[in-house]
Chains A and B, each alone.
Chain A
Amino acid sequence: MAEKMLELQDITMQFGGVVAVNNLSMHIDQGEIVALIGPNGAGKTTAFNCVTGMYRPTNGQVKFEGKVIVANYPQGKMKSMYAGENKGKYKHEVAPTPDKITRMGIARTFQNIRLFKTQTAFENVLIATHLHRTSNPFTATFRLNYKEERQMRELALSMLEMVGLQDSKDELATSLPYGKQRRLEIARALATKPKLLLLDEPAAGMNPQETHELGQFIVDIKNRFNLTVFLIEHHMDLVMDISERIYVIDFGKLIATGSPDEIRENQDVISAYLGVDEE
């Protein structure tokens, strides 16, 4: 009954000779919180970038709500260089730009916070309402869209209130403390009205208390907006706390998948993490 929201099929991303993501297949059902974990440099962010259109995978395809949104096969000089699997399985290319994927209903945050640095917190969120506009440059310039403009502002403000940043709304985004910047990024992503939310290390740099609160917050917005959440995170407490299923990758390859309890006990995962400091 649970519908597959997102499905990665044999996704391989090769940079020159480096295979950063190696034949990764996974799926996320509607309404789930699923985590992708792995040691530093395992290829987690790269996998995200393949879903959001920032990178074009070398091979494989991504489906969203049953529709192929990204697909590729080794072409050009990759024909001979390709070091991954399933060569020849995919025969067509689908490569929309990231903005198109966001418009389909996939929003993301960035591991290395990317706020609009000359803009206030409020303006940062407001910009993310632009994609649902019905105005054109003419009607917008001459304010014939004033009703829509008001709705955009109301939506942006309500998103800020939800992440508890209404009091900082007129502050420059980059002057906010780290934790607030992370929450602002989430508010900005939500303002695009996504169905699927991708969070790349949302708790990075947070203390245990903040991390715990963030976990509650993620569950909260998931329920409130009927979201599906795909999460990359190094804080194991957070991951174990809120995810329904976990995928573990190491050197770009899937090494384990299962419920938090299964992953905790998995020998491969333990050895992959052995000697690797948790941040």
Chain B
Amino acid sequence: MKTNKLSWMIAFVLLALMFAGLYVLEQTLPPTTMLFTILKKSVIYALIAVSMNLLNGFTGLFSLGQAGFMVVGAYTFAILTIPVQHRAMVYQYYDGGIVQFALPAALGILAAGAVAAVFAFLVGLPVLRLKSDYLAIATLGFAEIIRAFIQYEGLGPLTNGSNLLRRFPTFTGIIPPFAIVAFCIFIIVMLIHSTYGRALKAIRDDETAAEAMGINLFFHKQLSFVISSFFAGVAGALLAMYQGSIQAASFKSSMTYEILLIVVIGGMGSISGSILASFLFIASSEWWLRFLDNELFIGTFKVPLLRSGFRVVVFSVIIMAVVLFYRRGIMGDREFNLRFLTRGRSKAKERKNG
């Protein structure tokens, strides 16, 4: 119990240091720096990956609906927060749309999570009573249908059809997305360490035994699915804020696969793995490997292979290597912990006693 409290304290100190570091960066670097773009996107992906891990890694339910719940969240946020004076312009083909009020961004983010959670509840109702395999199919189907549905002309006054939604609030700095994501992940970690989290892990390990210990499978699976989708919805809202404009067509199922890949690379059942993998994944796909897409001459020598598209090839190879050689991901199902900082102390104590 004591070491547990200590590691929480260390985590909080590190978190405070991180925010201090971000603040310093923001004060010193120009706001257009690539680093900020990457960090913002990474931290949002970290939330999506952790929410997916709650379901796939901690509950053992295989779902492919993350992009679907994100698009629900993104649209809920956008529809509810576009300032009234901009609506005529955004909804130019639909007479300014039917929603004629605007919520503050914070409420919009909460609503994004809530609406995604309601959709998850409805999808889970019939599906989660069946064997787990059906969930992947149902959620994938849901993601495709909801995307098409949003673009449906008849819903134009609400969703703007297949046109962009824009002019909603965006981030003013790098601190807000980090703060929101840190808070959300904190809640997920607390849930996982609660008695409900233990029940979820029991279901993952052995459904039959879990049920024999009095754990209602349907209720707990539904719980995990709804909470996971709530945070996917929140992440959708954050992604909208990050991008500045959204379009349903861009929330493809390839987005879900990308996130699944992050979860697998980080390690199923490891929160810190998912976070770490999100930053590595976004940084290497959008930044570190960029140079591979540009032709490069050293003197008159043209470096072979470097051309537009080569980045994707290299990236795929790296991912294949990770999946092949670290089959259980970077972290397995362990967490990054700072025991090594406290170990010296307890060893010393042992020596004194022994």
B92 part of interface (Cβ distance < 8 Å): no
> A140-B195, A142-B190 in contact; A114/B333 too (CB < 8 A)?
no
> A141-B190, A142-B190 in contact; A130/B201 too (CB < 8 A)?
no
Task: Mark interface residues in B210-253 (1 if CB within 8 Å of A CB, else 0).
Answer: 11111111000001000100000000000000000000000000
Flag if A188 contacts B195 (CB, 8 Å).
no
Question: What is the CA–CA distance of A149 and B216 in the complex, to the nearest angstrom?
Answer: 19
Flag if A102 contacts B333 (CB, 8 Å).
no
> A116-B205, A130-B198 in contact; A192/B190 too (CB < 8 A)?
no
Flag if A102 contacts B214 (CB, 8 Å).
yes
Question: What is the CA–CA distance of A126 and B215 in the complex, to the nearest angstrom?
Answer: 12
Q: Which residues of A contact B223 (CB under 8 A)?
A: 137
14 more A-B residue pairs beyond the given contacts A99-B212, A129-B195, with a C-beta to C-beta distance below 8 A? A54-B208, A99-B213, A99-B214, A99-B215, A114-B208, A114-B209, A115-B209, A118-B204, A118-B269, A119-B201, A127-B210, A141-B194, A141-B196, A142-B190
> Separation in Å of the A98 CB from the closest CB of chain B?
4
Interface on chain B toward A: helix, strand, loop, or mixed SS? helix
Measured CB to CB, the nearest residue on chain A to B187 is A141
Q: Which residues of B contact A192 (CB under 8 A)?
A: 213-214
A sample of 9 inter-chain contacts (CB < 8 A) reads A52-B212, A99-B214, A114-B208, A118-B269, A119-B202, A119-B205, A137-B191, A145-B194, A145-B195
B199 part of interface (Cβ distance < 8 Å): yes
B206 part of interface (Cβ distance < 8 Å): yes
Q: Which residues of B contact A129 (CB under 8 A)?
A: 195
Task: Mark interface residues in A99-116 (1 if CB within 8 Å of B CB, else 0).
Answer: 110110001101000111
Flag if B209 contacts A110 (CB, 8 Å).
yes
Measured CB to CB, the nearest residue on chain B to A148 is B195
Q: Which residues of A are interface residues toward B (Cβ below 8 A)?
A: 52, 54, 97-100, 102-103, 107-108, 110, 114-119, 123, 126-131, 133, 135, 137, 140-143, 145, 149, 152, 188, 192
> A98-B212, A102-B212, A152-B195 in contact; A143/B190 too (CB < 8 A)?
yes
Question: What is the CA–CA distance of A141 and B201 in the complex, to the nearest angstrom?
Answer: 15
> Separation in Å of the A39 CB from the closest CB of chain B?
25
Question: What is the CA–CA distance of A111 and B204 in the complex, to the nearest angstrom?
Answer: 20
Task: Mark interface residues in B245-268 (1 if CB within 8 Å of A CB, else 0).
Answer: 000000000000000000000000
